[in-house]
Amino acid sequence: MAQTTTLKKEAAGVRVHKLSIILSKGTLDMAYPAFMLASAAAAMGTEVHVFFTFWGLSVINKKKESKLKVAPVGNPALSVPNILGVIPGMTAMTTSMMRGKIKGMKLRAIPELIHDAHEMGVHIHACSTTMDMMGVRQEDLIPEVDDIVGAATFLQLSEDGQTIFV
Amino acid sequence: MEQFAEKRIIDSRGRPCPGPVTDLSKAYRVAKLGDVLEVWATDPAAKNEIQTWAKHSGNDILEIADEKNYARIVVQVTKKRT
């Protein structure tokens, strides 16, 4: 659906020049695609906004951003059978496997990726309701966070652009 | 005073997507009109990615060449974002 709209817009000569990403998950396999898209878009000269809500807030939490994991449970694409995924230590195992691959590929770690994206102009917004719900204070967030916003502000920021929910 | 155009090599070999494009974009930010930016990349999508970037940003592709183990994409800065 979204793609058709974009194609139509491009055909009409309107260039999509704003990208907004809502990151609601706090796992490695969600944070990476979101930030790769964000930095690629920034490199293209696109205005980029990332809104961190629910578990996505962990990605910009000082204490948690370097400790993101990838869980085998509920993720049938991983080679670990779901029934075994619940065994203690399985999440740590899949996480370290993925971290190893990431390192081997010369991919940047999440904190560096966020820092870089921010330097390239990617705007980082924290969701106020989530902060309240999870008892996260402003000082718990990484310094790259531009502001703490609500849903209405984000909707206004993302207006007339492309929005992706992760 | 007008400065002479420069040529810069951006070695993004081994960097996965979107590395080559972000490296190029960083160099582009400090480049002047007329400068030539030559990207070296091993990412299989890099040639397409950089062509898309150039089209999007209004800059010119001078050359795309396959070297032994990497691709070389030469871009000339013909438009600067204001």
User: Which of B14, B15, B57 lies closest to A44 in CB terms?
Assistant: B57
- Give A15's contacts in chain B (Cβ within 8 Å): 56
pLDDT, tens digit (0-9, with 9 covering 90-100), for A65-104: 888 889 888 888 888 888 888 888 889 888 888 888 888 8
Angstrom distances, CA of residue A109 to CA of A28, A73, A105, B51: 10, 23, 11, 27
DSSP structural state of residue A27: B
Asked whether the beta carbons of residue B53 and residue A43 sit closer than 8 angstroms, the reply is yes
What pLDDT, on a 0 to 100 scale, did the predictor assign at position A59? 93
Cα A122 from Cα A146, distance rounded (Å): 9
Cα A17 from Cα A46, distance rounded (Å): 5
- Give A107's contacts in chain B (Cβ within 8 Å): 16
User: Which of B18, B22, B56 lies closest to A45 in CB terms?
Assistant: B56
CA-CA-CA-CA torsion for A16, A17, A20, A21, nearest 10 degrees? 70
Which class would CATH give A44-165?
alpha beta
Cα B57 from Cα B60, distance rounded (Å): 9
Count residue pairs from A and B with Cβ separation < 8 A. Answer: 38
Residue A105: phi, psi to the nearest 5? -85, 0
Q: Give the model's confidence band at A1: pLDDT under 50 very low, under 70 low, under 90 confident, else very high.
A: very low
In chain B, whose CA is at the least distance from the CA of A17?
B56
Task: Write out the catalytic residue numbers of B.
Answer: 17
What pLDDT, on a 0 to 100 scale, did the predictor assign at position B2? 54
Q: What percent of chain B has pLDDT over 90?
A: 71
The fourth-level CATH superfamily of domain B7-76 is TusA-like domain (3.30.110.40)
pTM for the whole thing? 0.79
Pairing of strands B7-12, B36-41: parallel
Give domain limits for chain A.
Answer: 44-165
Residue A125: phi, psi to the nearest 5? -115, 130
Q: Tell me the shortest Cα–Cα distance from A88 to chain B, in angstroms.
A: 33
Rounded to 10°, the helix B19-30/B46-57 angle is 40
What pLDDT, on a 0 to 100 scale, did the predictor assign at position B1? 44
pLDDT, tens digit (0-9, with 9 covering 90-100), for A12-24: 555 658 999 999 9
Mean pLDDT, chain A, integer? 87
